Structure 1
Amino acid sequence: MSEGKGFELSGYPLSGIVRRVRRAADFSQRELAKHAHVSPSAIAQIETGAVTPSLPNLQRILNAANYRLAVVDVDGHLVVPLEVWQDVADGAGRRYPAHLDTILDPVFGDWWADGFGLARPPETFRRNRTYRDYERRRSQWEVRSSKFRHAPHPQLPRGWQPGDQWRAEPDGGDAA
């Protein structure tokens, strides 16, 4: 059976994965198509690499054979979706950026404008990546996750003092 240049997942041809899933479920192409609510010719084209299925179609094909599509990191751990907290938004009703850690009920020093005497918001975030990464390492160390069980206490970034969390990034990025 000749195989076209098809899409690959983690170095494996998607056509071969779909074929393997179908064979493991002991389905013919017609049976898999029937259970997945796609045409038999779509299954044939996917298995030969002539067509790459859409994500919804791939999910239906895998689900029909009792398989699930999942995202795992390089260590094989399942990646779960980022939790979106309800009622946590800025003054314009927008959610905070997903790559930033939201700080609920900030204390003095957690918000960039504390030094100006402005009213503190109910939530904020740190935009300075260097300090944010230090805070994450410190938090993991404090709860003694197995990764940090015998590690020394994390140090502030080189040249930093406590309270420098709002200073500019070394590469010129903004800090507040």
Structure 2
Amino acid sequence: MRGREQQRAFETLLREHQRIVFKVVSVYARDPEDRRDLTQEICVQLWRSFPSFDEKRARFSTWMYRVALNVAISQMRRLPRQEERFESLEQHHLETISGEGQAEPDGRLVALYRFIDQLDPLNRALILLYLEDRSYSEMAEILGISETNVATKISRIKQKLRSRMATAESTEA
């Protein structure tokens, strides 16, 4: 593939899978300017990396997640004081992440996304992929870690979440 043909193929695939970019951006950036910057950086890196995409080795969505998450995590590491620039997850973030415009989100969903907001970059990526129903093997491929490591980390995240939810429910009662 060369030139215009490659560009058209990329644009088509990007349009078909744009929700991946929106989800990653929504989980890693809260400020509107940061979201725009991260979206642009992800798209630039996707375009730069597109010639190396091999559909025989991975599905486009898997490859796209890998690139998008690597860019987001790298950007987080470059911005050490990012927490001060983030706003907490609010209704419009939940709508962007879930893709649905619910009038009133379930309180547990809000608590879940607040929990996700507190995770380190790798665990945030893991839970995003888990919520997307990605297989452990696909998560491992995207993140460059073993399936065993994925399973262990997911189990620990779930355990922490259960503990937090139980604590939250007991304080509400």
- Normalising by the smaller structure, the TM-score range is under 0.3
More strand by share: 1
- TM-score with structure 2 length normalisation? 0.24
Q: Which has the higher contact order (CA 8 A, sep 6+)?
A: 2
